[in-house]
Amino acid sequence: MNYLSQAQLKLYLDNWYKTVQKANEYMQTEQPWTKLKDETKREEGIRDLQFLLWVVKQLAVLSAPILTEGFVKMQRIFGNEDIAALQSSIVSYTSRPSSSK
Amino acid sequence: MEDFSISREGKTFGIPLPFDSKSVSYVWFDALLNYVTVCQQDGFWTEDTEKVHVLGKDISRFHAIYWPAMLESAGLPTPDKEIVTGFFTVDGQKMSKSLGNVVNPVEVVEKYGRDALVFYLLYDIPIGTDGDFSWERFHNSYDAILCNSWGNLVNRVVTLCKKNDVTSGIIGS
């Protein structure tokens, strides 16, 4: 978050993207969809998914200052309607023509 | 720093000065004051709020020298940070109507969405220096990063979670 406060946005997004890549690598390595088909590994597959879901939620929060529209969509997918509505109101506030503020 | 004049004599268009009927206010003097008059209405310009200006390098003199001087003379809090952006070229060339290479941000947003444009500009063009807008790199960041990498990750995880009734994420496994 230090990058954000120092307006080092490229470095901030570089690190965000590296984490996205790591999450994709984890998914590809662990292949939870394969484990879920095997009763002996199903529990492990569920744990992988829980971990990946946690990572995706964190990445979504970290993307919020930049990917504002995507963040709102994701919060709706996660059922966080209140957060989506709040972010949506912030986006529409900052998008208003200055004369109407 | 030397004093600077806040009036312009003999101009017909401008804000009249109450102490000099022949002059109007220097445009940068009344324009900069908008930051305070507008932000104060919404409670954003106080000692407690962080005041950050994002501006182009061609107007940094007015924001980084004149503006703090004006605020200090009025006893008002000065900005905490000035983020100064550079100029753009497009694919290595100066942006111009005659070259037909002007990037219209409204059209880009309509076609690709706001997130795609904001992400590209912040990811590819460092703040503080001049930058080059490249359509090739724009499409690369849109396709490779936002769609194939981030979008695909979200899509796969959410689909699998829904299918398997995984609703809450946990740390570590």
A-chain residues near B82 (CB < 8 A):
none
pLDDT in tens, B125-171: 888 889 999 999 999 999 999 999 999 999 999 999 999 988 876 65
Q: Contact A36/B160, CB-based, under 8 Å?
A: yes
Q: Which of A78-82, A86-90, B32-36, B133-137 has the lowest mean pLDDT?
A: A86-90
Chain B: nearest CA to A84, how far in angstroms? 16
Q: Which residue has the tokens 């790199």?
A: B137
Kindly indicate the confidence band of residue A97, based on its pLDDT and cuts at 50, 70 and 90.
Answer: low
User: What is the model's pLDDT at position B47?
Assistant: 85
ipTM: 0.85
Q: Contact A66/B145, CB-based, under 8 Å?
A: no
User: What is the model's pLDDT at position A101?
Assistant: 37
Rounded to two decimals, what is the model's pTM?
0.79
From the list B118, B164, B172, the residue facing A36 with the nearest CB is B164
- B162: contact with A, CB 8 A cutoff: no
pLDDT in tens, B27-64: 999 999 999 999 888 888 888 888 999 999 999 999 99
Domain ranges of chain A: 2-96
Answer yes or no: are the C-beta atoms of A4 and A66 closer than 8 Å.
no
Q: Does pLDDT of A48 surpass 60?
A: yes
Q: Contact B173/A68, CB-based, under 8 Å?
A: no
| Mutation site for B-interface testing, chosen from A49, A76, A92 by largest number of B Cβ within 10 Å | A49
Cβ neighbours around B98 below 10 Å, total: 6
Give dist(CA A49, CA B8) in Å, integer: 67
From the list B145, B150, B158, the residue facing A77 with the nearest CB is B158
